[in-house]
Structure 1
Amino acid sequence: MELRVLQYFLAIAREQSIVRAAESLHLSQPTLSTQIKNMEEELGKQLLIRGTKGSRKITLTEEGMILRKRAEEILELVKKTENEVTLSNQIIMGDIYIGTGETDAVRILAKAATSLQNTCPGIHYHISSGNSTFVMERLDKGLLDFGIVFGTVDLTKYNALKIPAKDVWGVLMRKDSPLAEKETIAPEDLWDKPLIVSQQENKGGTLTQWLKRQESDLNIVATYNLIFNASLLVDEGLGYAIGFDKIINTTGNSNLCFRPLKPGLEDEMSIIWKKYQIFSKPAEKFITVLQEHLNAR
């Protein structure tokens, strides 16, 4: 399977039309159709469902949707590799890819990046947000250089630097909520409340243990991946969101407030990368400067 043909396939998936895809690729329609047909024969699977005469819209089969996801990852990795190789013998410039959950600890990365700006202005940073599973999956596929994760790190797979900061768990709520009168929130305060929890914690984790209740015994009205979206649900009165402090602004005219949990619940953080990873020059420079910043704290 050639990279060129993967690009053709993605163009069809994007345009949902062989005609429009051919135009965007500056190919003839028969040439493009032949290339995709040959790929289907090579894989032994139908990838596209061609529209009827009344509708020329192209849709993907289940196998086509799988290939689309993998093709995007493959081409992204190829681009990343080409950039690293092309710039390997030149001045330090290029791209650094970092995955992280929503945490105020990103400021530590920002400080390291800022200190590099004067000497290495050609370094560019790409931040992807997601939970620990998302971060580690992309690390394992080589799509990220570094990731920030919470809790214990598998040191057989990753190198890790402890971040000297902890994220504090608490409850995001409206200022006119009954619980807003409290300075801290205890487990029993939440047992009968409509809760909005992270998708990762909804599957069982530290928070579930702290609440001293099974998921089925709680009133979980919604789950979130990004707490900004959860904050909008809270603002509209749907429920109480459990998450980390310092991510949503609760000062000034905000309708929201944050109350920490009691007993307190904190998560340690680490920045990780794959063991035996060969860094690009920008990534190598960045981790060196980050280590210096952490050692100076």
Structure 2
Amino acid sequence: MDLRRLSHVVVLAEELHFVRAAERVHLSQPAFSRSIQTIEAELGLRLFERGERGVSDVRPTPAGLFVIEGARKLLFDARCLRRNIDLYRDVELGDASFGTGPFPAVMLMPRVLAELRREHPKVGLRVEESNWKQLLERLRAEAIEFFVSDTTELPRDASLTVRMLAPHPVDFFARAGHPLVGRPCTFEEVWDYGLASATPPEVMKNQLTALLGTQVSDSSFLALECDNFAIPRAVALTTDTVLAATRALVSADTASGALALLDILDRPSLIVQPGIVSLTGRAPSPMAQKAMECVERVARELAGVAGAAVSQA
């Protein structure tokens, strides 16, 4: 079966327009039409219904839908095989591209990337930092091999494989000398000073809404939301804004006394549940596999440190 013609079938299914599909694969419209007609003849199936104008009203037939689904899998496997053959031929681990959410970017990536660079100095690493929705788009587009992010809102999808990492509770921290430091307080008092955090998932917003009731504004949920964690951290260190974070994220600041853990009497129980997300059925490149193993190892070590800190608190 001709993979090139199968790719034309998939492109036409996505564009639903012969001219646009032909332009996308850099063929003339007549040549593209002949390619579709040829594979339909080979299979003995009509894959697309043509409209009256022939090029502007195209939709897959039931047989076409069946073939398109299988074609996508074949083309995906072919790309994976081609990549792995290239790596095998070159006797190299290959470069790796992956993504990270804001919490793992601070908690895990400095150690992970340092270890990978020490062990494999000739390998190239490309890391994208963003929220899980954008990272998922990049993963499905095969622009990255995996990403590490909070999985609380990640859709349960058979096309995704998730390797869960240790969960981390969210605590609340304020700068040294803050009016709330050194005494018990309520979450309402914390809220009055303004809360800064990476963008929280909906489940966290719902928990805080239930706790605070009418005080929550739909238009501006937190005082500061930013997926670059360095920004809310810097604001909390220099203002009375309270920082929502895991203990591992601010361990250096709490050790130095720059930030202090608040004693909140009605502290909400919020959890960050990170995981490693990849495409089901796609074998990772050797370097991506080593990177995922490194992420898991560092996450286990940090979970042990965080657990010891909690037991001592």
Pair in the same fold by TM > 0.5 = yes
| Greater strand share, structure number | 1
Partner of 2:93: 93
The Cα shift of 1:229 comes to 0.7
Distance 1:180 1:291, change over 3 A: closer
Q: 1:117 to 1:194 in 2, by over 3 A?
A: closer
The answer (yes or no) to whether the contact 2:93–2:285 under 8 Å persists in 1 is no
Distance 2:300 2:224 in 1: 40
Task: Please report how far the alpha carbon of residue 292 of structure 1 lies from its aligned counterpart in structure 2 after TM superposition.
Answer: 8.4
What is residue 279 of structure 2 aligned with on the other side? 274
Cα 1:174–1:135 change in 2 (3 A) is: same
Q: Point out the structure with the larger helix share.
A: 2
Give the counterpart letter for 1:258 in structure 2: L
* CA distance in structure 1 between the aligned counterparts of 2:263 and 2:146, rounded to whole angstroms: 29
Distance of aligned partners of 1:240 and 1:280 in 2 relative to their CA distance in 1, 3 Å threshold = same
Give distance in 2, aligned partners of 1:149 and 1:124: 22
- Aligned counterpart, 2:288: 283
CA 1:285–1:229: 2 relative to 1, 3 Å: closer
Question: 1:291 and 1:168, CA in 2 relative to 1: closer, same or farther beyond 3 A?
Answer: closer
Tell whether 2:237 aligns with 1:232: no
**Could you give the per-residue CA deviations for residues 222-277 of structure 1, whole angstroms, max 9, x where no partner exists?**
22112211112122215222233222331465532334763432222211101222
| Cα distance change on mapping 1:235 and 1:207 into 2, 3 Å | same
Contact (CA 8 Å) 2:150, 2:275: kept in 1 or not? yes
Change (3 A) 1:190 1:155: same
CA deviations 1:155-186 (Å, max 9, x no partner) are 423111111x2222122311111222247x65
Percent identical among aligned pairs is 16
Q: Retained in 1: the 8 A contact 2:175–2:240?
A: no
Offset from partner CA, 1:56-106 (integer Å, 9 cap, x none): xxxxxxxxxxxxxxxxxxxxxxxxx99877534122332112211223652
Indicate whether 1:258 and 2:261 are aligned: yes
Write the letter of the residue equivalent to 1:281: P
What is the alpha-carbon distance in structure 1 between the residues aligned to residue 147 and residue 247 of structure 2?
A: 20
Matches within 5 A, 1:85-164: 86-101=86-101, 102-103=103-104, 106=108, 110=112, 114=115, 118=119, 121-152=121-152, 153=154, 154-163=156-165
In the alignment, structure 1 segments of 5+ residues that lack a partner are 1-80
Secondary structure of the residue aligned to 1:133 is helix
Distance (Å, rounded) in 1 between the aligned partners of 2:263 and 2:125: 32
Query: Residue 159 of structure 1: SS of its match in structure 2?
Result: strand
TM-score normalised to the size of structure 1?
Answer: 0.57
Alpha-carbon distance change, 110 to 219 in structure 1, aligned in 2, over 3 angstroms: closer
Q: Tell me how many residue pairs correspond in the alignment.
A: 214
Let me know the Cα RMSD of the aligned residues: 4.1
The Cα shift of 1:216 comes to 0.9
Instruction: Tell me the CA shift for residue 147 of structure 1.
Output: 0.9
Counterpart residue type for residue 143 of structure 2 = L
Are 1:98 and 1:126, in contact at CA under 8 Å, matched by a contact in 2? yes
8 Å CA contact 2:131, 2:227 repeated in 1: yes
User: Which residue number in structure 1 is paired with residue 58 of structure 2?
Assistant: none
- The answer to whether the Cα contact below 8 Å between 1:146 and 1:271 also exists between their aligned partners in 2 is yes
Question: 1: CA distance between counterparts of 2:133 and 2:125?
Answer: 21
CA 110–239 in structure 1, closer or farther in 2 if over 3 Å, else same: same
Aligned pair in 2 of structure 1 residues 200, 157: CA closer, same or farther (>3 Å)?
A: farther
Aligned to 1:181: 182
Classify 1:95/1:84 alpha carbon distance in 2 versus 1 (closer, same or farther; 3 Å): farther
Gaps of 5+ in 2: 1-80, 305-313
Partner residue of 1:209? 207
CA–CA separation in structure 1 for the residues paired with 2:161 and 2:178: 43
Contact 1:186–1:263 (8 Å) recurs in 2: no
| TM-score normalised per structure 2 | 0.54
Amino acid at match of 2:198: S
Following superposition, the deviation at residue 295 of structure 1 comes to 10
State how far apart, in whole Å, the 2-side matches of 1:84 and 1:110 are.
Answer: 24
Deviations 1:84-136 (A, max 9, x none): 7753412233211221122365269829x838965x55433332222222321
| Bigger Rg, which one | 2
Q: 1:206 is aligned with what amino acid? A: M
